[in-house]
A and B are shown apart, each in its own frame.
Chain A
Amino acid sequence: MQRVYVTGLGVISSIGIGRRAYWEALLAGRSGASEVESFDTAGMGRSIACEVKGFDERDFLTAAEQQRMARCSQLAVASTRMAVEDAGLEPAALAGPRTSVVLGTTMGEAHLLEEQQQRWFLGGTDAIEANLLPRYGTTLLPIHVARALGARGLVQAIPTACAAGNYAIAYAADLIRAGRADVVVTGAAELLERLQFAGFVRIGAMSPDRSRPFDADRKGLLLGEGAATLVLESARHAEARGAAPLAEVGGCGLACDGFHITRPDADGRRIADSMREAIATSGLRPGDVDHVNAHGTATAANDVIESRAINDVFGAHRPAVTSIKSMLGHSMGAAAALEAVACVLSLDDGVIPPTIHLDHQDPECDIDVVANAPREVPLEVVLNNAIAFGGQECAVIFAKPGRLPESADPPGVARASREAAR
């Protein structure tokens, strides 16, 4: 089995653009929350979100690229260019059929859709701008990224809502291990959008002010937006070009609650199972995991149930847990990818970013939260957890390069090792 390395990171977030600015902001505990500027929230009852400000597509994209793609794809391509540069790759180095692109998102080019639908509702079909319609479609995110790289392998979008980033990263690693690609550019992108915002207000899930994961006074999530890209390479490919890996991608656990379309199952059983499977298929035991980057949405249900699942998996071991959604809000399809970047940076730097706004930890969230200040601690193995609308779950392991045992990964290993780990 090929080892899979993370060799480059790109990120566009509400608290910083580029790997360095993002990491400094995370460690400084900076919140990306502010009054929404991109649409009018008057009368909606909520007005705060974590918007990306200061992103200028002209810094990253050619005129032709700006012309042919809508904004979500622009974020994905810009983030990719940063990641490729961070990986020490020449722009043309990934051209050809051995590079694939797998990206997560929830709503993709929702801005374009909303604009054209407004025109349609108010002005009839004559008002629709036909020349812009081909730029809509979630399928376009990986296609634009592949085109920017000259990549000619598989292009795939995985729209598994709030877990999309992890689903994409897990599948990207699968493709490399199966020998179907040498490099997969993966991650996710999402835009803040009015309809989503209104929807979360309507289902009573949105906080009026701050995102307070694991706090007794949490009042729901804040929405966010952004893009994050990870360059994944086979060990052979990375070693051949002398690249220094930032981290290794371990196993993943995929599961589904099959319980309720928006609420997690109260016992958190499948959330726990997905974490166990990620650990076991990495050749590890729960006690090996130093840190969990939690889904931690700051909704009433999620934080209690996720804490329960974490305790179920780790028992007395109590790994350090953080939710960077306290700073970034919930960036939907991009959230897990932004968190994966944080996981890799934590491993690289030996610091866990804080969960800010944690004033009174909910006793029902009985976990070791990295509260309000970053924690320096040697890290070898971290777990990134994600849970979606729809009940889909996905946990992914990241580790120091070379930390994971060699694995032959024969068929059936996932089940056997998961049961052994119980």
Chain B
Amino acid sequence: MSLDLAITGLGLVTPLGVGREAVFEGLREPDAATQEAFRGPSSVLEAYDRAHVAEVWGWDPREHLGARGHRSLDRMTQFMIAAARQTLGDAGLARDGALTVYDGDRVGLCTATAYGSLDAISELSRVAELEDPRYINPTRFPNTVANAAAGYVAIWEGLRGPNTTMIDGHCGALDCVLNAATHLRLGRADALLVGGAEVLSEPLYVALAKLGLLRDAHEPERGLCLGEGACYLAVERADAAAARGARVLGKLSGYGSAFEPPARESRLVEASPDAVSRAVRDALDEAGLAPRDVDAVASSHADLPALDDAELAGLRDVFGDDVRVAAPKQVFGETFGAAGALGLAAGLAWLAGCPVAPLVGGGRDVAGERPPRVVVATTVGFYGNASAVALTAA
């Protein structure tokens, strides 16, 4: 049985732009968009001249959150509040900062992040280590827990429904789709903001650079491009969305997730093609779709061969060579917890007529071909975890 959830709104804070229209506009010209996203040098990582990252350029919280009250909010929390506010507005669920359709008790959120509190932990830890634990800033302390950011969104936007934070590496935002589907099906909420967020930070950059995974400004052809951003989808049961006459951007129809551990006991990091193919098949089964129905895949291809090769092998196992595989991370950068949500956002752009791009392998979308009706978003993790969501046209 299909999940049958309507996506009625979309909000984004990305290196490509802020808001659905700006981001969709950018996606029409993916080559220019990639240049825009990676225009550097980074202000967050200004001490690292080799950093080649996709930053939310020129972020000014006052533009999106108003003049006051955001000083104790960290960067990721600011992104999330801005994205949530846009999403509620885009869905017609709020106007002028007030919810208009559903009671705040009946609207919640489900947010993924992988390393969202790392920056706050690092900041306080530095003070504790180099100065004294007694000097850590108590107003920053709540930011060290991963769910605080979503708690702030609840406060700022008046959302008092179920509020879950999920962590599953690269796969968390797609996993949020199932969590939200469960709550909506059981009547625990009328609308949920579903998505994820991640932020550029010095500790994350240093760790990934130390592991040799990152793209280098002096050698920008290979390696992972770190990105940042936040993305929420407003999700309602399809019948409820129809009953209120909501505009529907697309439907979440199926979900799958799988874990396949490395065969060798001593291995820890190893992406799994079998996990990818099983997650995709389960998502299609739930959506009542066959592989041939799928027009495009919003993959998690990120110029990291260890993960990309496993994902492409898993996709080939399901689709053969008959599907367009695109790489939204070429435009958004690697955003871990947010990645699945940005993949779904790219899918919504394609359903709305943007060219499916950038394609893995550099091919171009065939001009004049009908817009896709079915997109599968996939995410593959470092450790053998993978998730997939089937997205269909309204």
A residues apposed to B, CB below 8 Å: 43-45, 62, 64, 67-68, 97, 106-107, 110, 113-114, 116-118, 120-122, 125, 128, 130, 133-140, 142-143, 146-147, 150-161, 167, 171, 174-175, 178, 180, 194-199, 201-204, 254-262, 270, 273, 277, 281, 388-392, 409, 411-416
- Taking CB atoms and an 8 Å cut-off, the chain B residues in 220-262 that contact chain A are 237, 257-261
Q: How many A-B residue pairs have CB under 8 A?
A: 251
Please measure, in the bound complex, the distance between the C-alpha atom of A258 and the C-alpha atom of B104, giving whole angstroms.
9
Contact of A258 among B160, B165, B169 (CB under 8 A): B160
Please measure, in the bound complex, the distance between the C-alpha atom of A256 and the C-alpha atom of B151, giving whole angstroms.
8
Within the complex, the shortest CB–CB distance from A64 to chain B, in Å, comes to: 4
Residues of B within 8 A of A178 (CB): 182, 185
Interface segment among B28-36, B130-138, B356-364: the answer is B130-138
Q: A64-B266, A142-B168, A255-B105 are in contact. List 8 more A-B contacts (CB 8 A).
A: A44-B133, A113-B125, A138-B146, A153-B259, A198-B128, A198-B134, A256-B160, A411-B187
**Is the CB–CB distance between B186 and A160 below 8 Å?**
no
**Is the CB–CB distance between B165 and A160 below 8 Å?**
yes
Please measure, in the bound complex, the distance between the C-alpha atom of A142 and the C-alpha atom of B108, giving whole angstroms.
25
Residues of B within 8 A of A256 (CB): 108, 151, 154, 159-163
Of chain B, the residue at the smallest CB distance from A108 is B167
B residues apposed to A, CB below 8 Å: 104-106, 108, 114-115, 118, 121-122, 124-126, 128-130, 132-134, 136-138, 141-142, 144-148, 150-152, 154-155, 157-169, 172, 175, 178-179, 182-183, 185-188, 203, 206-207, 209-212, 237, 257-261, 265-269, 278, 381-385
Of chain A, the residue at the smallest CB distance from B146 is A159
* CB-based closest 4 A-B pairs: A390-B151, A198-B133, A254-B162, A256-B163
Residues of B within 8 A of A195 (CB): 121, 124-125, 128, 133, 136, 144
> What are some 23 contacts across the A-B interface (CB < 8 A)?
A43-B133, A107-B121, A113-B118, A116-B207, A117-B122, A117-B126, A121-B130, A133-B210, A134-B269, A137-B115, A139-B169, A150-B261, A153-B258, A159-B146, A196-B144, A198-B136, A199-B136, A254-B108, A255-B105, A256-B160, A258-B158, A258-B159, A392-B147
Contact of A391 among B115, B121, B154 (CB under 8 A): B154
Of chain B, the residue at the smallest CB distance from A254 is B162
**Is the CB–CB distance between A125 and B148 below 8 Å?**
no
Within the complex, the shortest CB–CB distance from B210 to chain A, in Å, comes to: 5
Contact of A199 among B104, B124, B160, B382 (CB under 8 A): B124
Within the complex, the shortest CB–CB distance from B212 to chain A, in Å, comes to: 8
**Is the CB–CB distance between A202 and B266 below 8 Å?**
no
Residues of B within 8 A of A415 (CB): 106, 187
Please measure, in the bound complex, the distance between the C-alpha atom of A413 and the C-alpha atom of B237, giving whole angstroms.
14
Q: A117-B122, A154-B259 are in contact. Are A414 and B187 (CB under 8 A)?
A: yes
Within the complex, the shortest CB–CB distance from B131 to chain A, in Å, comes to: 11
**Is the CB–CB distance between B175 and A154 below 8 Å?**
yes
**Is the CB–CB distance between B142 and A261 below 8 Å?**
yes
Q: A139-B168, A157-B168 are in contact. Are A390 and B163 (CB under 8 A)?
A: yes
Residues of B within 8 A of A391 (CB): 151, 154-155, 163
Residues of B within 8 A of A255 (CB): 105, 160-163
Please measure, in the bound complex, the distance between the C-alpha atom of A62 and the C-alpha atom of B265, giving whole angstroms.
10
Within the complex, the shortest CB–CB distance from B223 to chain A, in Å, comes to: 15
Contact of B207 among A128, A158, A392 (CB under 8 A): A128
**Is the CB–CB distance between A139 and B383 below 8 Å?**
yes
**Is the CB–CB distance between A135 and B128 below 8 Å?**
no
Residues of B within 8 A of A156 (CB): 166-168, 175
Residues of A within 8 A of B209 (CB): 125
Please measure, in the bound complex, the distance between the C-alpha atom of A153 and the C-alpha atom of B257, giving whole angstroms.
7
Residues of A within 8 A of B144 (CB): 107, 195-196, 199
